[in-house]
A = this chain, B = another copy of it.
Amino acid sequence: MNRQELVEQIRKKKSVLCVGLDTDIEKIPSFLLEKEDPVFEFNKAIIDATHQYTVAYKPNIAFYEALGVKGWQSLEKTISYLNEDYPEVFTIADAKRGDIGNTSARYAKAFFEELNFDSITVAPYMGSDSVQPFTGFKNKWVILLALTSNPGAFDFQTQKQDDSDEMLFEKVLEESKKWGNADDMMYVVGATKADYLRKVRNIVPDNFLLVPGVGAQGGSLSEVMENGLGAEPNLLINSSRGVIYASNGNDFATVAGEKAKELQVQMSTYIK
């Protein structure tokens, strides 16, 4: 998916909502466990109930890998379902990969070509040649970790570099501008650090930001919308648990749809 298609979808749905498919076999309603592929059935129901209010879906790859071959099959079915039934939504493989060049190239092949995701999250620690193999695929995106939403983000990401006031995540943003542009690179910036969003927007005013940590992790939606939204609606705000596990009963999909709609309504006031 290219930038224009994504922006158009955001304007049409008046939403920047990304729903995180952190699908946990231990948390899904028990009646689904009788189905042949409970994880896929759960995802399918969630997608059907939320897609009107949602512009992106983000399967969290760890949850699928934890189930081995069976999990990988559920992942393949989920991404195929999205690509076939809802081709207008943006898809994110939340994989946080990053390795030496020939290995990163393999991951790019896995997620962009085999599975046909629109984007993948990538960790920056190994530098340029670990990230660049993910760029250069037509209409595919790298989503680079800049400032994450977890407590450990302060261990290294906010360390000052050299004798300057520049923090590591700012250095990552600056360096990575050489590797991609606003049409093929996004950044992960945690909502729990909304006051940093202005710093981020100073360095990358045009790039899309993927913002996790709203809701369960404590970030404020309004602060993110106010500080993170550029001239174009170049923001994706993720909610996982707050939407997909809003109910544990037979009505889980309906309630997930209601939660997604609540978020969309809040978002809509900021989107012109």
Contacts and interface: CB of A to CB of B under 8 A. Distances in A.
A263 to B, nearest CB: 20
Contacts of A254: none
Nearest to A166: B159
Given A96-B98, A99-B96, A129-B152, A161 B161 contact: yes
A148 B161 CA distance: 19
Given A72-B72, A168-B159, A66 B127 contact: no
Given A123-B98, A125-B145, A152-B126, A69 B66 contact: no
Interface string A133-160: 0000000000001001111111111011
Interface in A14-55: 22
A171 interface: yes
A179 to B, nearest CB: 10
A127 B175 CA distance: 20
Interface of A: 22, 60, 62-63, 65-69, 72-73, 76, 96-104, 106-107, 109-110, 114-115, 123-131, 145, 148-157, 159-163, 168, 171-172, 175
A168 B148 contact: no
Given A145-B126, A151-B129, A97 B62 contact: yes
A243 B128 CA distance: 27
B68 A72 contact: yes
A172 B159 CA distance: 11
User: Which residue of A22, A76, A154, A155 has the most chain B CB atoms within 10 A of its CB atom?
Assistant: A155
B97 A66 contact: no
A129 B115 CA distance: 29
Nearest to A190: B100
A107 B261 CA distance: 31
A63 B58 CA distance: 23
A68 B62 contact: no
Contacts of A125: 123-125, 145, 148, 156-157
The 10 lowest CB-CB distance pairs between A and B, nearest first, are A127-B152, A127-B155, A62-B106, A128-B152, A66-B110, A129-B152, A100-B150, A65-B110, A66-B106, A125-B125
